[in-house]
Amino acid sequence: MSEKSAILVIGAGSWVTALALVLARNGYRTYLWDSQSEHIHALIKDRCNNRHLPGFQFPDCLVPIPDLSPLQGEVKDIVIAVPCESLAHVLRKLTGNHARAYSICLACKGLEPETHSLNHLVVRKILGDIPVAVLSGPSFAREVAAGFPTAVTVAAADLATAGYFAAWFHGKVFRIYTQDDIIGVQIGGAVKNVMAIAAGIADGLGFGANSRAALITRGLAEITRLGVAMGARQETFMGLAALGDLVLTCTDDQSRNRRLGLLLGQGGNVASARGAIGQAIEGILTAEAVHELSREYAVEMPISEQIYLVLHGLTTPRAGVEALLGREPRSELS
């Protein structure tokens, strides 16, 4: 990597803003762009993301920009952290800017809604065979922005490529581990959102810590089964991007997916919960993708199936829990 090269960060939610702050604090000139021009102009004016991550002023080298055109030829390293449903649209905007010269790090935790594809494959389909990595792990945006110690994983098809991307983010309080299991890291980061909805529902219904622990443990088993069927390594799911992120999102109300589950368990509906939370909730579309993938790969995923039914109004939260508890006894290892 060239010394402190410029990096473009795409998206302007809380998570991408936190990552932009990490890069800027590491000394990179960091450009921040989003398709919502009104929001970008507010970032330029306020020098802070008051809508999604208030209280953290931008360093001088963090520069929100309203237009990508002036960056043509200057920036080839890009971080993208948009909702997965918007990823293909964003990538297509890059195709006119010498796309094959780009190196892209994805910090989106979900699956492509229409095709149920892993995000790195969406990049390859639209931009060709360019260097691509994914960043995932237990990390709430506000804590990252505040400089609290955090550890995440950067995965790519090979460790050398993962190391290239990891160097952007690694610092005194933001520790990066590298992986070459790009499939497992993405499945862990995506499907844990579905399990966080389940944990939120259980707590919203008034169940206790026993239920939450059971959901986390059996949820990890489901995530692992699907990941291995799709070509991941089993040991990946004991790491930061699966077990670590799963525990975090199932147990802390900073998780939007857990908050969705809480509201559903307390009698709310998906539309009202979305309005109350006010940001993208990846688990909703991921539940639908997992529903299809579990059938495609013939993987049994009972918790994910009940969450899919609840989100589509085909069962109630309480009936979903009763359906899980009413299943026939089986070996824990199967």
From the candidates 4, 45, 109, 192, which is the catalytic residue?
192
Give the phi and the psi of residue 117 in degrees, each rounded to 5. -85, 155
| DSSP type of residue 107 | -
Strands (E), the chain: 7-10, 30-33, 62-64, 77-80, 103-106, 132-136, 150-156, 174-179
As a whole number of angstroms, the distance between CA 122 and CA 21 comes to 26
Output the CA–CA distances (angstroms, integers) from residue 80 to 39, 46, 90, 191, in the order listed: 17, 22, 9, 19
As to burial, measured by CB atoms within 10 angstroms (0-12 exposed, 13-18 middle, 19+ buried), residue 282 is: buried
Does residue 192 have an active-site annotation?
A: yes
287's tokens: 């539940």
As a whole number of angstroms, the distance between CA 254 and CA 144 comes to 13
As a whole number of angstroms, the distance between CA 194 and CA 29 comes to 36
Stretch (H or E) spanning 187: helix 182-204
What's the residue count for the chain? 334
Say how many C-beta atoms besides its own lie within 10 A of residue 54's C-beta. 12
* Gyration radius (Cα) of the chain, Å: 19
Which residues have CB under 8 Å from 193's CB, separation 6+? 109, 110, 249, 257, 281, 282, 283, 286
The residues annotated as belonging to the active site are: 192
